[in-house]
Copies of this chain bind each other. A is one copy, B any other.
Amino acid sequence: MIEAHTQHLVAYRIALRRIAAALGCEADEEAVVAARQKVESDHLMQQTRTGLLILDHGYAGGAAMSPEEHAAAIRIPQRDVVRLETIAEGFLGASDNVTSWLAAVTNEVEARVRGGAVGVKTIAAYRAGLRLDAPDPSHVASDFGRLHAQAAAGRPVRLEGAPLCHSLLLEAAAACASLGVPLQVHCGFGDPDEDLALVSPLGLRRLFTEPRFAGLKVALLHCYPYHREAAYLASVFPGVYMDLSLAIPMAAHDGARALGEALGLCPISKLLYATDATRYAEVYLVAASLHREALAGALGELVDGLWLTREEAVEAGRDVLARNARRLYRLD
């Protein structure tokens, strides 16, 4: 894929040029790699003009920088979100049954939130899809038994399948509702280990309608190509927020178009800016510039079409780029 096709993505072409421009070099891979080695990541991160980073440190496990190392390397204020599945995998071995496992996870989430985490993130989309039916208790118990035995024996475990992942998601959603922190849910496209047919945010409906989740705030991440569906959810359920994050760099011009489509139903107060960037400062830089331009383009079209005034569009830009997240994650 990388050898034969990645270079033929529109997103690759634009990214290469943006990075080259930021580094002041020619827009080819060799020149970029050479120039990049002479620049600190923090220098590029400053160019993203990011006021505050909300970070999920749960992706790469021990191989990643710790939050402290990251905060030292990048001089931008940082807050954490807790990756639900990473925590939950850590308690599989020490928990005797599903109930105690879920309680241990919830306790840990609560402790992390008390310690400053501003939200919880779930990647159930990858592990089980997002069609939230009521998990069958006998499947939950048997799946748990198998993973518990593996973990207790010191073998690596990977939490997956609807019975456990959806039980966990529902429990965490209730915890988030009572803790008052948003639950981030990966929706829509991503890496190939996810079945795109199963990850429409419409499958999350229970979270928005059942009384046990009253007050829950959910941030739907990425959403593409289900962004119109996500925007619908944001338009009818008070707790639903959304972003286009990965879609803006990856789907290039069509990610930008999707942002304009989402603004059809999604209240401006519920659309969030996000990069989905990871590992490399230049990825943040590309996402940050493309996302701002996509937003400016979409809002500019609304002004041209007399849908919004210029003043409303300026305020909308500020809301999407910062204020909505500050309010949602209670950052002030």
Interface residues, chain A, CB within 8 Å of chain B?
1, 4-6, 8-10, 13-14, 189, 191-192, 195-197, 200, 202-203, 205, 208-209, 224-225, 228-229, 232-233, 235-238, 250-255, 257, 260-265, 267-270, 301-302, 305-309, 312, 319
Contact = CB atoms under 8 A, between A and B. Distances in A.
Contacts of A9: 235, 265, 267-268
20 contacts: A4-B269, A5-B270, A8-B319, A9-B265, A9-B267, A9-B268, A10-B264, A10-B302, A13-B312, A14-B306, A191-B236, A192-B237, A195-B202, A195-B205, A197-B203, A224-B228, A225-B229, A235-B250, A251-B264, A254-B265
Nearest to A324: B8
Contacts of A1: 236-238
Contact of A8 (B6, B202, B267, B305): B267
Given A8-B269, A267-B6, A269-B8, A301 B238 contact: no
Contacts of A265: 9, 189, 250-251, 254
A252 B307 CA distance: 8
Contact of A307 (B233, B236, B253): B253
Contacts of A251: 264-265
Given A13-B307, A232-B225, A197 B189 contact: no
A27 to B, nearest CB: 9
Contacts of A237: 1, 192
B267 A260 contact: no
Nearest to A258: B264
B197 A263 contact: no
Contacts of A306: 14
A298 B251 CA distance: 14
Main SS of the interface on chain A? helix
A312 B225 CA distance: 26
Contacts of A203: 197
Given A14-B307, A261-B257, A268-B10, A202 B209 contact: no
A195 B209 CA distance: 10
A192 B236 contact: yes
Q: Which 10 pairs from chain A and chain B are nearest by CB? A: A254-B264, A251-B264, A8-B269, A225-B228, A192-B236, A197-B202, A8-B267, A5-B267, A8-B268, A1-B238
A233 B192 CA distance: 8
Contacts of A257: 261, 264
Contact of A197 (B205, B209, B254): B205
A306 B252 CA distance: 11
Contact of A253 (B14, B260, B319): B260
B238 A269 contact: no
Nearest to A200: B197
